[in-house]
Structure 1
Amino acid sequence: MRPFWLEQALALEHAEACEALTGEARAHVCIVGGGYTGLWTAIMLKEQNPELDVLLIEADICGAGASGRNGGCALSWSAKYFTLERLFGVEEAVRLVKASEQSIYAIGAFCEKYGVDADYRLDGTLYTATNQAQVGSTDGVIAALERQSINSFSKLAVDEVQRRAGSAQHAEGWFSPAAASVQPGKLVRGLRRVALQLGVRIHENTPMVGLEEGSPALIRTPTGSIRADRVVLAMNAWMARAFPQFSRSVAIVSSDMLITEPRPDLLQEIGLTSGVTVLDSRIFVHYYHNTPDGRIMLGKGGNTFAYGGRMLAVFDQPSPYAGSLQKRLQQFFPAFAGVGIEATWNGPSDRSVTGLPFFGQMSSHGNVFYGFGYSGSGVGPCHMGGQILASLVQGHANDWTRSPLVNGPLGYFPPEPIRYLGSLVVRNAIRRKERAEDHGRRPRHLDVRLAKFAAAAGKADKG
């Protein structure tokens, strides 16, 4: 099955399929992966250097992976400031927060420039508390942002938070205008259209089955091959399976979503009338926003963990957590208790140790580049990923190629079965901890300690 966003986008699209590659091909740059990262990279390369011959291959259709099934929350890295500062120092942390906000605006400018109707709405985001234990949890990072003069958040009165969020479940809230919501499938298919318009050659239904280093490198597919001077691997969660050296650099975990039938009248009634994205302060957050056609999308990360980085069949099926998602929807929005659920879905996200993506070069010939590890929050940061990879491919000396983000993985998970079993232990401790907090009880000390393993990388799985 196709996830709701992609299915909706395809139904509105009048585009010809990009045929699978057959035979031998030659290109200056070959990009493997037709999601946000690969398409942004291709577009930026062609915008900056129209003479480059860029060829992109995608195992399925463009947008079939995380890019066509995420929550549509385009967020900055403001909430990750402490992680950025700890890893990279104050100067780079400040630069990356600013750059991440600029990417939010740049996505909107891109949609306007190329006529991409991705339901882009620059209506900001609300970081909220939904129980007393969460109240005050955002204060520290807001204070740090304020000290560096990069704070875009303002605290709202509780009644104003509830009014904007459309729910009385919120006990506190900080609002930032530097965030947007999008229809993910429409955005990725729009990127595909623009890439083709700019002269990128795209072959869908063309998986990479082998990569031979060299100058040029050789990419093998089931029915052909490509020789390319430079290669970009933009496969995200699939990288860990394709290249054993990355098998411990990410953990594969689902983010699960539902979307209601259209009820614009009820949205008016509850006051959720803008495209604001709303997130609570859990470790694996609840996130939601409305859609222009009157629906509510609600999701939650940190559910299904994959042993050994496998792509589980469940990732292409309706969410096995549909019941708990629907229960949470009704808690947030009692008025929607009788509204039908149009669809549920889930998908794999590549959770890195730090909660941040990482980039690098992996060939002895210096011509194979990669970027992944967005940790469930890639809608905005993938635009930065495109800038990084386009700069690396062209050998530019700039802030992106000098950034420590291009130094490869910044940590590794334990080997299996420890990684898998440990993930389940931590996930279940988080669930017990937050269940206790939701009921006003003090969580067990051990659960609090275990939850800190996940909390160290900041909020996750919301984009």
Structure 2
Amino acid sequence: MRRETIRLGGGMRGDEGAGAPPHRSLWLLESLDVPDGPGAPFSGDLSPLLGAARADVAIVGGGYVGLWTALELKKREPALEVALLEGDVCGGGASGRNGGQIHSWWERLGGLSAVCGTEEAVRLARASEEALDVLQRLSDDGLDFDLRRDGWVWTATTPVQLGAWEQVLERVARHGGSPYERLTAEQVAERTGSPVHLGGIWERTGGTVHPAKLVRGLRRLALEAGVRIHEHTRVRAIEPGAGAPGAVTRVVTESGATLDAARVVLASGAWAAALPEFANRMFVVASDVIATRRAPERLDAIGWDDGAAICDSQMRVLYYQRTPEGRVVFGRGGGAVALNGRIGRGFDRSERFARDATQAFRRVYPMLADLAIEQSWSGPVDRTLAHVPLFGRLRANPSVLYGVGWSGSGVAQSVIGGRILASLALDADDEWSRSGLVDQPPLTFPPDPIRWAGAQLVRSAVQRKARAEDAGRTPRWIDRRIAALTPGLPEGEGRT
């Protein structure tokens, strides 16, 4: 097979507004004050790759997936030379910008079944529960990332959302799962502190984390395991090695530095969407988050006193948590859409969508409407048609492996991603390399700019539909019809 040069520059961080510092999430700003080790000062950014280097495995991307892959590789083969390249700082992308919610893959069982078959889908759902326990063990061993296992609450905040979870409950029960408990409106209000919630279900094993403390903690563990990490190292291209199929692959950075490796792992999330191989298999949409000032006494007064993850059931999902210090972190999905997978500075922060998230927060928590919003940020979500990630080997170079398309559900599930990618990198023949998530039959979107134009049309209809429902009105017929064209989950699945 003829191997081709893979050019990454078009979708990597910094392609628009290069030279300007990125707008940081509250999470990352807070995590940079956390010592890298007991009693030690924060060591700062790690040096960029310089000159020519070699490794057994090169990993592109310093978020959850890349770091879990590195840790899994070193766990299995401690002598393996693993080098990780990150264009910003570890956690600068989606891993340090998300809502900090953890829950299992049971609510994605329909999408997993469509891609993998029922037996493998159930295995992966159970594996995702075990991944939550992996996070628990990290916390028990002293890694501080504000883990709180107070559950995941899937709610309805308007009458039209009631019962959105029914088909999921039926499907999960049919295949032997029992992760959920039904909640009455009163019970949901008690757990969330808001009477706007009309009903819901609770996954007892879920909860919340501080996303950036988690990714920075994984960074520290990877360094301790002997992984070489180079931050501020943007990858420009991956070139094929000369000669035999087993020849070394070369990673070339924007500065001209090179890293030769037998295997390269692409773990760059949404930034991989610009590659031709993924152009029609996933798209990138922003999710926008706000954080209030600290007000623990106000949250205590309404009965919101734990660390549950909370989501509603609309297409433009609302997701929120109370932080340990008493902030409300409140996000809304369905923001800006990337054209040709290009992720510019607009995916760091959007004033327009921050106002939209603020308005939704004040609707759900009217008694907290006067709380000042101290920070807002955005982040890119790499969405696939089945809402499950893609794994495999690039056609242009089978020595390059990928794990992308997390569709907004990867904080805990990235543990699984690391296992799959490590098995592929080591040519292992096991349950992970044989997973149905590997080499999936292609489910494709229309090409850009048709996809982008269609996404704008559908997103506008979804926004109008959501505003009408939030106000207690029946959405217009045309908006309901257009919104129904949203590429989505099997009927009845969650929108997280």
Q: Aligning the two structures, in what range does the TM-score lie when normalised by the shorter sequence? A: over 0.9
1:95 aligned partner: 123
Q: For residue 70 of structure 2, what is the amino acid of its counterpart? A: A
CA distance in 2, matches of 1:130, 1:198: 45
Which one of 395, 413, 420 corresponds to residue 445 of structure 2? Answer: 413
Which one of 184, 196, 199 corresponds to residue 211 of structure 2? Answer: 184
2:370 aligned partner: 338
Which one of 55, 68, 86 corresponds to residue 96 of structure 2? Answer: 68
The alignment status of 1:292 with 2:324, answered yes or no, reads yes
RMSD: 1.7
The alignment status of 1:58 with 2:86, answered yes or no, reads yes
For the residue of structure 2 that corresponds to 1:44, the secondary structure is helix
Tell me the CA shift for residue 451 of structure 1: 2.5
Query: Is the 2:299–2:326 Cα contact (8 Å) retained in structure 1?
Result: yes
Which one of 452, 457, 463 corresponds to residue 425 of structure 1? Answer: 457
Query: Is the 1:257–1:319 Cα contact (8 Å) retained in structure 2?
Result: no
Q: For residue 21 of structure 1, what is the amino acid of its counterpart? A: L
1:150-209 CA distance string (max 9 Å, x none): 121111121111010111111111011121211111011101000000000111111111
1:229 aligned partner: 262
CA distance in 2, matches of 1:185, 1:384: 19
* Greater share of residues in helix: 1
For the residue of structure 2 that corresponds to 1:252, the secondary structure is strand
Q: For residue 170 of structure 2, what is the amino acid of its counterpart? A: A
For the residue of structure 1 that corresponds to 2:58, the secondary structure is strand
The alignment status of 1:138 with 2:165, answered yes or no, reads yes
Which one of 259, 262, 267 corresponds to residue 291 of structure 2? Answer: 259
Q: For residue 135 of structure 1, what is the amino acid of its counterpart? A: L
For the residue of structure 2 that corresponds to 1:11, the secondary structure is coil
When structure 1 is superposed on structure 2, of 393-402 and 58-67 the one drifting more is 393-402
CA distance in 2, matches of 1:248, 1:149: 35
1:365-416 CA distance string (max 9 Å, x none): 6421111011122212211111110111111222221122111573121112
1:174 aligned partner: 201
Q: For residue 267 of structure 2, what is the amino acid of its counterpart? A: A
For the residue of structure 2 that corresponds to 1:76, the secondary structure is coil
1:54-96 CA distance string (max 9 Å, x none): 1111111111111111111112112112222233222112112
For the residue of structure 1 that corresponds to 2:315, the secondary structure is coil
Change in Cα spacing, 1:336 to 1:209, as seen in structure 2 (3 Å) is same
When structure 1 is superposed on structure 2, of 331-340 and 296-305 the one drifting more is 331-340
Which one of 337, 340, 359 corresponds to residue 391 of structure 2? Answer: 359
1:10 aligned partner: 32
Change in Cα spacing, 1:258 to 1:179, as seen in structure 2 (3 Å) is same
1:378 aligned partner: 410
CA distance in 2, matches of 1:87, 1:202: 34
Change in Cα spacing, 1:187 to 1:26, as seen in structure 2 (3 Å) is same
When structure 1 is superposed on structure 2, of 349-358 and 254-263 the one drifting more is 349-358
Which one of 430, 438, 442 corresponds to residue 470 of structure 2? Answer: 438
Tell me the CA shift for residue 318 of structure 1: 4.8
For the residue of structure 1 that corresponds to 2:43, the secondary structure is coil
Q: For residue 205 of structure 1, what is the amino acid of its counterpart? A: H
For the residue of structure 1 that corresponds to 2:434, the secondary structure is coil
User: Normalised by the size of structure 1, how large is the TM-score?
Assistant: 0.95
For the residue of structure 2 that corresponds to 1:189, the secondary structure is helix
Query: Is the 1:376–1:460 Cα contact (8 Å) retained in structure 2?
Result: no
Tell me the CA shift for residue 274 of structure 1: 0.8
| Structure 2: segments with no counterpart, 5+ residues | 1-22, 36-41, 242-246
Query: Is the 1:359–1:409 Cα contact (8 Å) retained in structure 2?
Result: no
After TM superposition, the runs of 4+ consecutive aligned structure 1 residues lying more than 6 A away are none
